[in-house]
Structure 1
Amino acid sequence: MKLRPHLLALGTLLACAQAQAYNCTGVSPWAAATAYTGGAVVQLNNQAYQAKWWTQNQSPATNAGAWDVWKSLGACDNVNPPPPPPPPTDTTPPTIPNGLAAGQIGTDRLTLSWNAASDSGSGVAGYELLRNGAVVASPTQTSVVDTGLQADTVYSYSVRAKDRAGNTSTASPALKVKTLASGGGGGGNVAAPIVLGYFAQWGIYGRNYLVKNIDTSGSAQHLTHINYAFGNVRNNRCEVGITQAVNENTGVGGDAFADYTKSFSAAQSVDGVGDRWDQPLRGNWNQLKKLKAKYPKLKVLISLGGWTYSRGFSEASRPENRQAFVKSCIDAYIKGDLPRVEDAGGPGALAGVFDGIDIDWEYPNACGLACGKAEDRENFNGLLAEFRRQLDAVRPGLLLSIAAPAGVDKIRAIDPDKFHPYLDFINVMTYDFHGAWEPTTNFHAPLYGSTADPSTGDVKLYHTDAALQAFLNKGVPAKKLNLGIGFYGRGWTNVPNINQGLYQSGVAAPATYEKGIEDYKVLKTLGWPSFVDPQSRAQWIFNGSTFWSFDTPVQITEKMGYAKAKGLGGAFFWEFSGDDAQGSLIKAMGNGLK
């Protein structure tokens, strides 16, 4: 039946009146300097608001529309607030945690983990870590990083559980751990600022960028790490030795020729010595081995996945698959057991080239070339834990890192607070925030946001500062975070000559290899008018119809200053061949971090 109009109106008014009341007891006032995550509730001007996503310095009073960061919960109503629940009265202590073990061990820090204690009558609320008998941490998770230690020193650890009633279990049996001597690796301990670059396997072809060029450009002396891109993840294994071309529809692909069977001539080789046709390791990997011999402090990691090869991670990370998957990666890249291809490879052929493994899963519990599943969130944590366990079992000091998303929406889909203890560092991909896949010109890698940016929702927070702050808000130590630099630009053409082309319509600009993307070494030669946005600190060039956004040594120097001010571990870049022959961008990074 239908309600009479006046009754319908009365019902609507009552519903609205009910929706406008919110109990603000215990709700903190909004503060501009405070960073809030999605779900946080604040009050301002006697009104309650809830954050939809990460925000800072965005007033609920002016940002609470349908598409804004804040949702209005209604007027504060603190009349007769409900009494707090009585505290638990159960006096049964929780069970003793077991399985206390040390993971990453460094000179000044180490990671400890244990098995969860069983629930008692009042439920397990957290744990207390004891070092030499004194409580040094009270985590809620079953792992913790203990810092501020002395090198080459033995410490005694135990852990006990506590419940919501305040009862604590007996401490677990003591575990004695010795930190590494000064100069040791692993455990997230990297003394010098990190300067890491990706070397693209395929760059030796049309781009004609060889490992030797890392040396001749003067770049090597500024580097601490190289990530070799990419190793394939397929059929729940690290797949090595496939020689057919990449097929993005199937995920099949690889290039054993570039990796370890191509014979480089004396003129192409790092040390001036050409490869023999029958030596077990040739190709890029042998050249990296020679580069490490020339620069002994340089570390090289194999990077697994990337945009095309990430589709295999979701299945490989499942509990029933991950142990064998991780073993296959370590057998190939750390122990060096390569398939025999064209008189190259064999057991141990690659041993000593790679110092660790980088996981570039794009993206867990989100969409890249393929979309993941909700279970990826927890499986990603488990996968990194398994990599850490097996790497440590081979030898201390082997590195484990990830390439992490920079979009706040994708960061929200993972748990940095849970997985960072397993990692030595996290490379946050603070570039590709905007590109010609969008119909409007915008900045490729802005340092900060801009009030003029027409983006809405999470995309409004697509900038470097918001990305890094999202990880810091999750409890990731600043020293484990590396800021990302793109050695290329993103561009549009058919852009109206308005506002120097910024925030205007356009389509992907013509370029050398792929529309809408061009190397710095090409863009620097154009000589077009250049502009810098005062808020985002991003630079762009515009000739009246074509717009390119990219970083120059000036922007990189400013970003390195930001990294130092934030206490970050360092910076990384994609990828070597985008730089000029003098290594101008790499040198700006290295000098800027000193």
Structure 2
Amino acid sequence: MALCIQVLPSPSLRSVFVQLVKGPFVAAATSAALVLGALTALAGLGPAARSASVTDIQPAAAAATSGGVNIAYYDQWSIYGNAFYPKALDTRGIAGKLNVLNYSFENIDPTNLTCFESTKAASTDETNPSAGDGAGDAYADYQKTFAAGDAVNGTADVWNQPIAGTFNQLKELKAKYPNLKIVASIGGWTYSKYFSDVAATDASRKKFVSSCIDMFIKGNLPVQGGFGGTGTAAGIFDGFDLDWEYPGVSSGHVGNHYSTADKANYTALMAEFRTELDAYGTANSRKMLLTAALPAGQDKIEQIETNKVGSYLDYANIMTYDMHGAWDATGPTNLQDPLYQSADDPSTAISPGTEKYSADNAISAWTNGDSAYGIAGGFPASKLTMGYPLYYRGWTGVPAGSNHGLYQSATGPAPARSTSATAGIAYYKELGGIVDNSADTFYDPKSQTNYFYTGSEFWTGLGSQAIQAKADYAHCHGLAGAMMYSLLDLDANDTLFNQIATAVSGSASSCTSPTPTPTPTPTPANDFSVAVSPSSGSVAPGGSASATVSTAVTSGSAQTVSLTASGAPSGVTVSLSPTSVTAGSSSTLSVSVSSSAVAGTYPITVTGTAASGSHSTTYNLTVTSSSGGGTALSNGGFETGSLSPWACQTGGKVVPTPVHTGSYAVDVVPTSNTTGECDQNVTLSPNTSHTLTAYVQGNYAYVGVSGGATASTWASGTGWTKLTVPFTTDSTGKVTVYIHGWYAQGDVYGDDFTIS
């Protein structure tokens, strides 16, 4: 997993956004792209950015000046706990070495399907399908004021200037570096849910693209916190970076919308951006950029029209990292960014072909195609950049084995470090004494990748040898250069950034390819799949539902599969008949909901186990309210003396004092890393107006709903304050009711929640 923490406080309105990027090729980063034919027109791209045609791409002939473009991400949340302000890009010499700066991330309005600005916390729960709905950080974007010592131009912000925040600092940065191009990145891991919707039709594409240009290019920001207004952000952004993770597949964030039509629709969405950006650029004598963060996994590349999108993009940043990580908690350890596929790599080949993950396989698929995966290829190599992660993935409890911990077992993810605060991942600046220690640094010549081993911890990420190998590859294959994610991860000396910039701006001494990894002839092993249809159902208390659990032979011969179901809440009974089938046969899943069952949505896991191993699928059961109209909220006064069915982040609990009425209330406990959110899922009448009412006490107490409706409000005070949140449900009627505080601002209390 790659962790990107976005903390969104303001004196008046605070929120948090945490993006957890998990699984191969689910990059938290986005990427950028510049049109090949416009390189000479872009004054800031530097002399090293030479264009190359597809016929120039010959491994035996190094292009000494190719591959010199440097692109990097500056995260929206950098200004908070890390205090990594845009000024550092100036004083530390970063801005002068960059061609393109990607500002990440902006979100898609879940109701209007447009670009928008808000200050609302995203859920940190990776199982919450509505985690990013309505979330954003308008405060960081254009409301936070900077003191003189923190400002790029050395002048303090004042209350009556048009905009403040990071946008204004980027404006000041561009004044000092007029050749630096800055693009607004849309999407990312948590904010990709509605890409499929905005790309679905010609009308939805035009509506979405025009809204983004109006807000971020023309600069017509909504007035919030005393800042914003018509044209206040004009001239800051030079275009957009699209980070849709991922079209056409279910392997993005849980709850993401996707469709078989996404492949063609993504091309059409890029075309619409290109058309509208060009029209604006022509009218305003500006070259506007369109870039995209694109996948490196063959299973995801096949969902993109590689032979078409290149005509609309300026640069395509290939996310050549997050290929392996501690989501495989017990190993085997592996490399998150192998340049080449190693014959020793123990990971499973990507179906339906025999290849594994590597940067070389990805670049080849984009440019030359890959028939085993139905990838057409045809993307211009001179528009591709390779991703360079500035963070590391790690395991602990790793034995040395024969190669310093590589491809070994582990006892779990490496312990969390203080800033990244997530087990199994750390920023470069958190691993001093390891990644900068030659005694702990190793190099795998087969994959041309560095790794680090302390005798117990194994870390995978960039080292000086891997950086040079990547840069040489880019020069020898006529690629555009490098994309780095994210600048926030750097140490005070910007060690990785400077090494990358130097290598990318240089040239390869020679161009040779490693000995090709022989492709083994696979021996089919017995295996199976398990699926449930329908995959979800809604049942009122006292009711029942059923679904069909199907199994199929995916390789080898049929075998006996034992079926079990888990995850049923109190008051719900789940059974399977029969409980054992031969692969290729089916079983019936029966669900019975008693009158005591609590309303909410519950994932029921159906697991099939055979001699070859286990596979699981999920049936999402929604227990509706017993009130028929669906407006009941369970345990809103916490008078049961327990949280259920509320779920809280660490520390949340029911307390006897203070209370608004009755005997109990909820105590929400924010920490330096969390807002302490407590929430529960409720199914209400669809397409209906409702009002959430609650009583709160404490500093920065927020209540609201997300999911099938998005609305919130807040209050601060030592006494009880009544808050009301009007909202209208969508066609599902499903919302998440929540209360949270703010980072390290003290406990907040809630009581007497009702929905009318």
**TM-score w.r.t. structure 1 length?**
0.67
Q: Could you list the per-position Cα deviations for residues 421-479 of structure 1 after superposition, in whole angstroms to 9, with x for gaps in the alignment?
A: 01111000001110111242100111111100011222852111111111111111111
Separation in 1, partners of 2:269, 2:123: 26
Q: Which residue of structure 2 lines up, in the alignment, with residue 537 of structure 1?
A: 448
Say whether residues 1:315 and 2:197 are aligned partners. yes
Q: Could you list the per-position Cα deviations for residues 241-291 of structure 1 after superposition, in whole angstroms to 9, with x for gaps in the alignment?
A: 211111253223111111100001111111111111221211111111111
Partner of residue 490 from structure 1, selected from 374, 389, 393:
393
Q: Which residue of structure 1 lines up, in the alignment, with residue 415 of structure 2?
A: 510
Q: What amino acid maps onto 1:509 in structure 2?
A: A
Q: What amino acid maps onto 1:219 in structure 2?
A: I
Q: Which residue of structure 2 lines up, in the alignment, with residue 478 of structure 1?
A: 381
Shift of 1:227: 0.3
The count of residues paired between Structure 1 and Structure 2 equals 419
Contact 2:34–2:289 (CA under 8 A) maintained in structure 1: no
Partner of residue 585 from structure 1, selected from 496, 500, 503:
496
Separation in 2, partners of 1:297, 1:385: 26
* Equivalent position SS for 2:189: helix
Q: Could you list the per-position Cα deviations for residues 364-400 of structure 1 after superposition, in whole angstroms to 9, with x for gaps in the alignment?
A: 1122114522111111011111111111111142000
* Equivalent position SS for 1:461: coil
Shift of 1:540: 1.2
Separation in 2, partners of 1:194, 1:246: 33
Mapping of 1:184-583 within 5 angstroms?
Answer: 193-235=68-110, 236-247=112-123, 249=128, 250=130, 251=132, 252-319=134-201, 320-366=203-249, 367-370=251-254, 371=256, 372-396=258-282, 397-438=287-328, 439-440=330-331, 441-458=333-350, 460-473=355-368, 474-499=377-402, 500-506=404-410, 507-512=412-417, 513-526=421-434, 527=437, 529-583=440-494
Q: Could you list the per-position Cα deviations for residues 314-371 of structure 1 after superposition, in whole angstroms to 9, with x for gaps in the alignment?
A: 1111114111011111111111110101110101111000001000000011221145
* Equivalent position SS for 2:163: coil
Contact 2:308–2:379 (CA under 8 A) maintained in structure 1: no
Separation in 2, partners of 1:308, 1:352: 28
Contact 2:34–2:290 (CA under 8 A) maintained in structure 1: no
Give me the identity figure in percent.
43
Contact 2:34–2:291 (CA under 8 A) maintained in structure 1: no
Q: Could you list the per-position Cα deviations for residues 111-157 of structure 1 after superposition, in whole angstroms to 9, with x for gaps in the alignment?
A: xxxxxxxxxxxxxxxxxxxxxxxxxxxxxxxxxxxxxxxx9xxxxxx
Separation in 2, partners of 1:182, 1:238: 29
Q: Which residue of structure 1 lines up, in the alignment, with residue 607 of structure 2?
A: none
* Equivalent position SS for 1:415: coil
Does the C-alpha gap of structure 1 residues 226 and 490 become closer, same or farther in structure 2, counting only changes over 3 Å? Answer: same
Does the C-alpha gap of structure 1 residues 492 and 184 become closer, same or farther in structure 2, counting only changes over 3 Å? Answer: closer
Contact 2:44–2:178 (CA under 8 A) maintained in structure 1: no
Where does the alignment leave 5 or more consecutive residues of structure 1 unmatched? 1-103, 111-150, 152-179
Q: What amino acid maps onto 1:321 in structure 2?
A: S
Shift of 1:184: 10
Q: What amino acid maps onto 1:468 in structure 2?
A: I
Separation in 2, partners of 1:553, 1:285: 34
Does the C-alpha gap of structure 1 residues 558 and 277 become closer, same or farther in structure 2, counting only changes over 3 Å? Answer: same
Does the C-alpha gap of structure 1 residues 105 and 424 become closer, same or farther in structure 2, counting only changes over 3 Å? Answer: closer
Q: Could you list the per-position Cα deviations for residues 174-211 of structure 1 after superposition, in whole angstroms to 9, with x for gaps in the alignment?
A: xxxxxx979599xxx97683201100001111222111
Where does the alignment leave 5 or more consecutive residues of structure 2 unmatched? 1-32, 52-65, 369-376, 506-756
Mapping of 1:170-185 within 5 angstroms?
Answer: none
Q: What amino acid maps onto 1:289 in structure 2?
A: K
* Equivalent position SS for 1:452: coil
Shift of 1:493: 1.0
Separation in 2, partners of 1:190, 1:380: 28
* Equivalent position SS for 2:119: coil
Separation in 2, partners of 1:549, 1:257: 35
Contact 1:520–1:550 (CA under 8 A) maintained in structure 2: no
Shift of 1:552: 2.3
Does the C-alpha gap of structure 1 residues 551 and 329 become closer, same or farther in structure 2, counting only changes over 3 Å? Answer: same
Q: What amino acid maps onto 2:145 in structure 1?
A: S
Q: Could you list the per-position Cα deviations for residues 493-541 of structure 1 after superposition, in whole angstroms to 9, with x for gaps in the alignment?
A: 1223323211122221112221111011222433462211111111111
Contact 1:364–1:373 (CA under 8 A) maintained in structure 2: yes
Separation in 1, partners of 2:109, 2:253: 15
Q: What amino acid maps onto 2:359 in structure 1?
A: T
* Equivalent position SS for 2:346: coil
Contact 2:44–2:179 (CA under 8 A) maintained in structure 1: no
Does the C-alpha gap of structure 1 residues 586 and 453 become closer, same or farther in structure 2, counting only changes over 3 Å? Answer: same
Does the C-alpha gap of structure 1 residues 382 and 487 become closer, same or farther in structure 2, counting only changes over 3 Å? Answer: same
Does the C-alpha gap of structure 1 residues 212 and 190 become closer, same or farther in structure 2, counting only changes over 3 Å? Answer: farther
Bigger mean CA deviation after superposition, 261-270 or 542-551: 542-551
Separation in 2, partners of 1:530, 1:556: 14
Q: Which residue of structure 2 lines up, in the alignment, with residue 144 of structure 1?
A: none
Does the C-alpha gap of structure 1 residues 260 and 418 become closer, same or farther in structure 2, counting only changes over 3 Å? Answer: same
Contact 2:292–2:317 (CA under 8 A) maintained in structure 1: yes
Of Structure 1 and Structure 2, the greater helix share is in: 1
Separation in 2, partners of 1:510, 1:519: 13
Separation in 1, partners of 2:326, 2:415: 11
Of Structure 1 and Structure 2, the greater strand share is in: 2
Bigger mean CA deviation after superposition, 280-289 or 364-373: 364-373
Separation in 1, partners of 2:314, 2:41: 17
Shift of 1:546: 1.2
Does the C-alpha gap of structure 1 residues 231 and 494 become closer, same or farther in structure 2, counting only changes over 3 Å? Answer: same
Q: What amino acid maps onto 1:231 in structure 2?
A: E
Mapping of 1:30-109 within 5 angstroms?
Answer: 109=37
Separation in 2, partners of 1:437, 1:413: 24
**TM-score w.r.t. structure 2 length?**
0.53
Q: What amino acid maps onto 1:314 in structure 2?
A: S
Separation in 2, partners of 1:555, 1:341: 46
Separation in 2, partners of 1:583, 1:391: 34
Shift of 1:405: 0.4
Q: What amino acid maps onto 2:102 in structure 1?
A: N
Shift of 1:239: 3.7
Separation in 1, partners of 2:288, 2:227: 25
Separation in 2, partners of 1:310, 1:468: 24
Q: Which residue of structure 2 lines up, in the alignment, with residue 6 of structure 1?
A: none
